[in-house]
Chain A
Amino acid sequence: MIDLKNIKKSYFVGERELTILKGIDLKISKGEFVVLMGVSGSGKTTLMNIVGLLDKQTEGDYLFENTEVSVLNDENLADMRNRYIGFVFQQFFLLPYLDAIENVLIPIVYSKKGIKHPREKARALLTKFGLEHRIHNKPSQLSGGEQQRVAIARALVNDPELILADEPTGALDSKTSGEIMDLFQMLNNEGKTIIVVTHDPKLAAFGKRLVRIEDGAISEDITT
């Protein structure tokens, strides 16, 4: 599914070139549950952005679903993201003017998949995550854990292959964090490919594979 070959990423800060990723080789297949671990500044978020088709590498090849993505334009990339990837972020990023179910439905607005009965599907997802009584609540009326579960439902509504979660538990207490990670495990068991990016060593245990990033390179890659 994901095939990164010698991926490099650098920025220019003024005259100086700042290299964030120094040649990453990484293959991730369907059905994996990868925890991408690294301290802040290690390049893990940059890597996640490239994997999630939100950013482009400076060098190297990236095959996503057997497509070389560096040649794709804005519209193709947007379409790929919509089709294959569900994003989950640390700050949830629910839209304040929409209620829970409407937030879940956002990817549907841009979808070309022809998902049948999206509203019923969104409702079913929220119910599955124990939010049936929260369906018409605005994000401001939800707890952090509830907001993140709405965000995960949103990530799933368009049937993506891959869930890409960036510090999904960073804003949650440890009990709620555990519940969210359990949820990812459940989704993985149902066949979704999951990548969780985090700096929190406690989360490593939830994945099936641990990839550690240090200073822009992979320092460890263990399948448990």
Chain B
Amino acid sequence: MALFQKISQLREFVEEVIKILYYYRGRVIFSFSGVTLGILSICIIITTIDGANKKAQEIFEALGPDSIMVFGGGEKQRAARVRVNTLKVEDAELLGRVEGIYDLMQTYSARNITMRYKDRNWQTQVVGSTTNYFDSLAWKFQTGTPYTAEDYEKSEAVCVIGAKVYDELFKGEDPLGKTMIVGKLPTRVVGVLEERGGSAGGHNMDDRVIMPLTTVTSRIVNEKRYLSAVRLRTNRDLDRTIEDIRATLRESHGLKGNLDDDFTLRSSKDILAFVTVISGSLLLFLGTAAIVALIVSGFVLANLFYLTIQERKKDIGIRRAYGATRKGILLSFLFESILITFIGGVAGILLSVILGSTFEKLFDIPMMFSFKVVIFALLFSFLTGILSGLKPALTASRIEPIEAIRE
């Protein structure tokens, strides 16, 4: 009976608070939407950053945590997207001798090559590489096989195509054994790669044709001296290996003193570091904005609450006269403000799910919703409710019944 009474009293109490909120709905909606916006931005930030990190982790896994890319041209030229041939064929040989290197993949990329099959055209890049290309990148085949060591030695006109190229030229057809024209060279398709999606640089990894390096450098372009890139894998410490590679290349290229490198080294660590920097600044800027939004809405809530308390002095007085304790008044006002921010928080979470999935579809931004986001958002809205409600609730609880009732 006592328990039942407690429950029905609690229900009465909650119902009353809801009626109060409804009665003052104008200002409630005002403070509520502030909280909603704040929580919305917090949710979006967290899901975006989580999404970016997850994506980065995927790229990291895909590239292999022990890999180092060596490109021709220094950082400045790369930044300006100027292609400079500085990486020599002999360099690859030297790099193969660096301590700890157990895998070496060489590439020469020819860009803007037109592919033709039947009446279809597609312009893309041709990557000439060593036979270990697919193993090195852990890239699986949808169908077919890689080109063989024999193909490589004999500079055979065979190719493996990316999923995008397949879609553009062969969609709905079995491409294996078919001949397509690469530039001017009729080339036999031996395999189709699985889809991999965007790369760290923003290119579509699937939009490429891979052929033996020897075929590309002798039959598509005439390039016997330089390589575009070398990809190395090490079983030694990554940073130390990078130092050795740099030293080897600087010696080979005759770079002394403080002359800039004429090549660029990239490891999977750089990609992670890059994402960390990006998500860090994202967190900093958007996070600040979100916190500011929450603080402002907290202030708005507190101020509107103060106003309400002046208006509700008699309400408080009558409740005190009829047996409400100071604690009871304090709790009911706190409950009111927490309820507002809590509902605001839930609305923010729901909106962020809707907005987030829209972003994901429209702009291809990876988003990752998690339980963590919900917990964070609810915690934040709860805190806002307590912090902005505490002072007004304390004020309300200190009102004496006689001063409230006196006209």
Contacts and interface: CB of A to CB of B under 8 A. Distances in A.
Interface of A: 49, 52, 54-55, 74-75, 78-79, 81-83, 87, 89-91, 93, 95-98, 102, 105-111, 114, 154, 158
Nearest to A55: B402
Nearest to B23: A97
Nearest to B22: A97
Given A91-B314, A158-B322, 9 more contacts: A54-B400, A55-B402, A79-B323, A82-B323, A97-B23, A102-B16, A110-B322, A110-B328, A114-B1
Interface string B6-29: 000100110010011011100000
A62 to B, nearest CB: 16
A144 to B, nearest CB: 15
Contacts of B314: 91, 93
Contact of A106 (B1, B319, B405): B319
B315 interface: yes
A96 B23 contact: yes
A171 B219 CA distance: 106
A74 B24 CA distance: 29
A49 B405 CA distance: 10
Given A54-B402, A91-B407, A93-B405, A105 B322 contact: no
Contacts, number: 78
B319 A74 contact: no
A148 to B, nearest CB: 14
Contact of B16 (A81, A83, A87, A98): A98
A54 B321 contact: yes
A82 B2 CA distance: 17
B324 interface: yes
Contact of A108 (B1, B12, B22): B12
Given A78-B325, A91-B407, A97-B19, A114 B2 contact: yes
B327 A93 contact: no
B404 to A, nearest CB: 9
B318 interface: yes
Contacts of A158: 322-323
A96 B407 CA distance: 17
20 contacts: A54-B400, A55-B400, A55-B402, A74-B326, A78-B320, A78-B324, A78-B325, A79-B323, A93-B314, A93-B317, A95-B318, A106-B319, A107-B322, A108-B12, A109-B9, A109-B12, A110-B322, A110-B325, A154-B322, A158-B323
Contacts of B19: 97-98, 102
B401 interface: yes
Given A108-B9, A114-B2, A114-B5, A81 B326 contact: no
Contacts of A96: 23
Highest count of chain A CB atoms <10 Å: which of B9, B16, B317, B322: B322
A79 B22 CA distance: 29
Contact of B401 (A54, A102, A111, A154): A54
Nearest to A107: B322
A105 B323 contact: no
Contacts of A93: 314, 317-318, 405
